[in-house]
Amino acid sequence: MGCSRAAGCSFVDERLNKRLHKLVAQIGSAMGQSIPLVFQDWANTKAAYRFLSNDRSP
N- to C-terminal Cα distance for the chain?
Answer: 9
CB 51 within 8 A of CB 24: no
Rounded CA-CA distance 24/13 in Å is 17
Predicted confidence (pLDDT) at residue 1 exceeds the cutoff of 60: no
Q: Backbone phi, then psi, for 32, in 5-degree steps? A: 95, -10
pLDDT of residue 12: 81
Tell me the DSSP string of 10-53.
Answer: --SSHHHHHHHHHHHHHHHHTTTS-HHHHH-SHHHHHHHHHHHH
13-53: pLDDT as tens digits: 888 888 888 999 999 999 999 999 999 999 999 999 999 89
